[in-house]
Every structure is written in C-alpha cells, then in structure tokens.
A and B are shown apart, each in its own frame.
Chain A
C-alpha cells in the first residue's frame, strides 16, 4: 500500500491565488522530505528539501518566496505555491526517505496544478 500520500491530487486555481499541497508519510516518520516538479514526459526536478524543525533548503533557481515549504511535523510537509501564475502549472511530487537497509525514497502520487 501507499506509504506517502499527497493532497490534493488535482487543483485548478486562478492566477494570483495561493495553493497549498500536503505531503504525508503514512506509517513512518520523516525528518526530511523532498519536493519535485515534473514537466510532461520529463524526469523529476528537485525543488527543495523540507527539514522538520528548520528551514527548507532550496535548489538553485527555485524562488523561496514563491514556493513556501513548512515541515510541520514528522509526518507532514506542505508546499505552498504563492501568487500562482500559469507558468507554475505542473506536476508536483513529494518524497520521503525510509530506511530499509539502504537509502530508499518513497514518492507520493503527485499533485497536478493548473493555473488559469
């Protein structure tokens, strides 16, 4: 079964509004979670690392004020796309690491964002 969930799975919003996406680890704790962005038929692009109890670490070129990340608890990280514009439309995916003897990432099902 799924070990990482995301909500919502799809969201349509008007330009200028903010959208919050939740990522939850379902039966394990994750002090670190990762947020990715994916364009059609392309690989995942890491946006930021969400750290429980401290600030998120953003990849080069990702606007911190645009993509707000809050790691509220050991099982929840949120990504807020602020003042969304059509170019922010994309597939957003989170992941959480779980130790299984080796480093293993478990991915959420993704959130499709469409900004009109």
Chain B
C-alpha cells in the first residue's frame, strides 16, 4: 500500500510569512498532485508534478517533486488570508490497478491570520 505522509498537519501563520508543506512517501509515484480545498467545497487541483526534480511555480506557490519521485513540497511566499484552506497531496498507483485511484495524504490545514 502506498502511503503519503503530509506535514505539518496544522499550520497557523501571520499574513506575509513564508511556509512549506511536505508530502513524503517510501514509495515511488509516477506523479503527484496538489490540491487546495476551502470549507464546504471540493478540492481544486493546483498542480501536477511528473518529472523527478521538477519545480513548478504558480504565482506565490512553488511546488517541487523530489529527484526520486518519493516526496514533494509546496512553498508559499508571503502568505495571504486567501491562502487559507486544506492542502492535500495525492498520487496515482504504480501498481497498474484501478486507473486514477488516488492515494491522499492526510492534508495540511493552513490558516493565514490577518
């Protein structure tokens, strides 16, 4: 069973601060996805990383995929209150089983205070 460990589980910071969220596994993933979910809504895809060592930027968000494709990180620069939400990492199986059946991390609940 492929597991994804996210840390920290909870994070409360002040507006303007930087933060990093980690997503780690002992298994290799062909790709990893990051989602943000706001209360009462479904998760929204932020990015998919595919290549080991890949770095993708989405405005103030920087996503990195580990060289061995076992881990990923999300760094937010100068956090804003609108960044508040549950951040989830997820990856598809390598076993060739059910297509698109994602393994989810437990999530990082981020609160950015004004």
Q: What is the predominant secondary structure among interface residues of chain B facing chain A?
A: loop
User: In the complex, which of the residues A49, A100, A105 contacts B98, with contact meaning CB atoms closer than 8 Å?
Assistant: A49
Q: Which of A4, A46, A105 has the most CB of B within 10 A?
A: A105
- For B40-52 the 0/1 string (1 means CB < 8 A from A) is 1111110010100
- For A9-45 the 0/1 string (1 means CB < 8 A from B) is 0000000000000000000000010100000011110
A83 at the interface (CB under 8 A from B): no
Q: What is the predominant secondary structure among interface residues of chain A facing chain B?
A: strand
When distances are taken between beta carbons in the complex, the residues of chain B under 8 Å from A100 are: 48
Size of the chain B interface, CB-CB below 8 angstroms: 26
**CA distance in complex: A24, B109 (Å):** 28
**CA distance in complex: A16, B35 (Å):** 35
**CA distance in complex: A65, B104 (Å):** 26
User: In the complex, which of the residues A42, A46, A97, A110 contacts B41, with contact meaning CB atoms closer than 8 Å?
Assistant: A110
User: In the complex, which of the residues B33, B41, B88, B107 contacts A104, with contact meaning CB atoms closer than 8 Å?
Assistant: B33
**CA distance in complex: A93, B92 (Å):** 18
User: In the complex, which of the residues A4, A32, A91, A95 contacts B99, with contact meaning CB atoms closer than 8 Å?
Assistant: A32
Q: Quick check: B42 and A43 within 8 Å, CB to CB?
A: no
Q: Which of A78-116 contact B (CB under 8 A)?
A: 91, 93, 95, 97, 100, 102-110, 112
Q: Quick check: A42 and B44 within 8 Å, CB to CB?
A: no
When distances are taken between beta carbons in the complex, the residues of chain B under 8 Å from A107 are: 35, 42-45
**In this complex, what residue of B is CB-closest to A91?**
B40
When distances are taken between beta carbons in the complex, the residues of chain A under 8 Å from B42 are: 4, 6, 93, 95, 107-110
**CA distance in complex: A36, B16 (Å):** 34
Q: Which of A42-61 contact B (CB under 8 A)?
A: 42-44, 46, 49, 57
User: In the complex, which of the residues A4, A103, A108, A110 contacts B100, with contact meaning CB atoms closer than 8 Å?
Assistant: A103
Given A43-B105, A57-B98, A97-B100, the answer on whether A106 and B31 have CB atoms closer than 8 Å is no
When distances are taken between beta carbons in the complex, the residues of chain B under 8 Å from A95 are: 42, 102
Q: Quick check: B88 and A43 within 8 Å, CB to CB?
A: yes
10 CB < 8 A contacts A-B: A43-B104, A43-B105, A43-B106, A44-B104, A102-B31, A103-B31, A104-B48, A107-B43, A107-B44, A107-B45
